[in-house]
Chain A
Amino acid sequence: MTRVEELQDIATQVRRDIIRMTNAVMSGHPGGSLGCADFLTALYFDIMDIETEKFDIDGKNEDLFFLSNGHISPLLYSVLARRGYFPVSELATFRILNTRLQGHPTNADGLPGIRMASGSLGQGVSVAVGAALSKKMNNDPKLVYVLTGDGELQEGQIWEALMYAAHNKVDNLIMTIDYNKVQIDGTLDEVLSLGNLKDKLTAFGWDVVEMQGNEMSDVLDKIKLAQTRTGKAKPVAILMHTLMGYGVDFMAGTNKWHGLAPNAEQAEAALSQLKETLGDY
């Protein structure tokens, strides 16, 4: 089995987890979670240099990841558990009273792998910029990654952070935008168009790499390409083309499943398309 195939298998199991977690509590956000599963799997299982055994919030000499679009928490929890931050069995507690796996991620309950709460949109890039500055001051050569939604770019704070990062040459930072062009109320162009996003990012002083976010080989290649573009006095953005709901045919490419959990029948139909590769939790 090739490395790409191995990672695809992990991503498929992660997608099963997402369907099962959201179905179990009939809440949560499966659409964006499914769409970003390949990216986050690649990041945690192949790209990042991380310490999963002894989680430390400061993450010195580790790569760091921040999830800005916190609503895709089922994906993050599945990846963290599958990667060994906490027991896979804990995924069964998602969104249940007294869980550490809150609806949106938080460090408040000490869940290993989470360094900052997120969910109120538009804040993660600022946080990642701060963490990247901290690494520079500590002469820590590792990188900071942040994932944002595309609808999230409608929040003004994101553009404050983009401006700041470029002005201050925060070049140990890779921001990935989940460019699925869909948000809760419809497509970006229906709700509030981002116009030519690539040109906007470039105009804001960012070095932009485009990536096919649901093709594992391209995900690996382009994140590695982005890595080679760090340390050159510019922050780096990956414009990640994905399909919201990718991996389940009836959930893909629509805003319908942004924040809608599949019922038992729908979950069964979805799971029939996703092979159990690592064993369900």
Chain B
Amino acid sequence: MEKPVFSEKKDTRSGFGAGLDVLGETNKNVVALCADLIGSLKMNNFAEKHSERFFQLGIAEANMIGVAAGLTIGGKIPFLGTFANFATGRVYDQIRMVVAYSNKNVKICASHAGITLGEDGATHQIMEDIGLMKMLPNMVVINPCDFNQTKAATIAIAEYEGPVYLRFGRPAVPNFTPENQKFEIGKALKLKEGKDISIFATGHMVWHAMEAAYELSQNGIDAEVINIHTIKPLDKEAVISSIAKTKCAVVAEEHLMNGGLGDTIAQLVVQNNPIPVEYVAVDDKFGESGKPAQLMEKYELTTETIIEKSRKSIQRKG
């Protein structure tokens, strides 16, 4: 395996902003809403260029969900943006009734997800959001891995009719997937073919999965890396066919172990082909203040942990 490379480090939220800019030019039905976090969500350009289609809601997220749902009546496609904590947990019942149950074409775009939010600490670092959102019937859950993919996903979800949760983050991370890629909702991406273990990763952890696969390859272990950018609907075929070959797996995500991608994959695995599965995720803990990289280290969301758990998973299959 070649050593994985990236062009530059960029934040995924800027990918969202770039995607929204494109939609501003290409889709007149797209409207955007924000709850006093325009700069953090990188919505400045859209807000300036398309002021007639931009809504500043103030610090009132519950109202923002309802207004977004109402805007769909008449054909608008609302993209609402705020921090992941305030876009999910704070407004769960609102999303549940007027977005998911009412099956409205609302795009919930959540930045600063996970522990890499950093210094603001546990009050703002939500690591339960994937679980909360994937439990809602009708809700599509997407967690792209880098700037390019987040931009592509943002553009793609405008074409999909129905509720979507799009999760992205704050820090600059390696931008390594192709520019102007086509994003297909629900289609997992095999980034590296392998036969010894399947590494399923989502969001910021996909890059670490690639690094881990490289390190493992230097030690004679041939890992398969699959980028699960869409957690729901899960690309079941991709998971089942990969584990049929490798017979063991690791799931890596910047989320709690409870309720995350790991749960979804484990469910599929036990129903189809029970094999060892190891988790790289946070085990039933809140986060804390610190620099994103320090937090990823302390909470064991690293390349090294993926390597260690991969070895363990391989050992367990015997």
Contact = CB atoms under 8 A, between A and B. Distances in A.
A118 B97 contact: yes
Nearest to A138: B74
B60 interface: yes
Interface stretch (B63-71, B188-196, B278-286, B287-295): B63-71
A75 B75 CA distance: 28
Interface residues of B, number: 32
Contact of A161 (B53, B66, B93, B104): B66
Interface string A125-141: 11111111111011010
A94 to B, nearest CB: 19
B79 to A, nearest CB: 13
Contact of B66 (A64, A108, A123): A123
Contact of A120 (B60, B73, B93): B93
A59 B66 contact: no
Contact of B74 (A59, A120, A122): A59
A160 interface: yes
A124 B63 CA distance: 10
A133 B57 CA distance: 13
Contacts of A215: none
Interface residues of A, number: 40
B52 interface: yes
B94 A134 contact: no
Contacts of A58: 73-75
Contacts of B78: 130
Of B52, B72, B74, most A-chain CB atoms within 10 Å: B74
A157 B74 contact: no
Contacts of B44: none
B102 interface: yes
Interface in A23-77: 57-60, 64, 66
A163 B60 contact: yes
B97 A125 contact: no
A112 B57 CA distance: 31
Contacts, number: 119
B75 A115 contact: no
Contacts of B66: 123-127, 129-130, 157, 161
A107 B102 contact: yes
A130 B67 contact: yes
A212 B202 CA distance: 58
B102 A131 contact: no
Contacts of A64: 73
Contacts of B93: 120
A131 B102 CA distance: 14
B103 A107 contact: yes
Nearest to B62: A157
B52 A123 contact: no
B102 A133 contact: no
A133 to B, nearest CB: 6
A160 B68 CA distance: 14
Given A58-B74, A59-B74, A131-B73, A123 B94 contact: yes
A133 B52 CA distance: 10
A4 interface: no
B6 interface: no
Contact of B70 (A107, A134, A156, A167): A134
Interface string B98-124: 100111100000000000000000000
B73 A116 contact: yes
A60 B101 contact: no
A156 B63 CA distance: 9
A127 B58 contact: no
Nearest to B101: A117
A116 B57 CA distance: 21
Interface of B: 31, 52-53, 55, 57-58, 60, 62-76, 78, 93-94, 96-98, 101-104
Given A116-B73, A126-B67, 10 more contacts: A57-B73, A120-B96, A126-B63, A129-B67, A131-B74, A134-B70, A135-B74, A138-B75, A160-B63, A167-B58
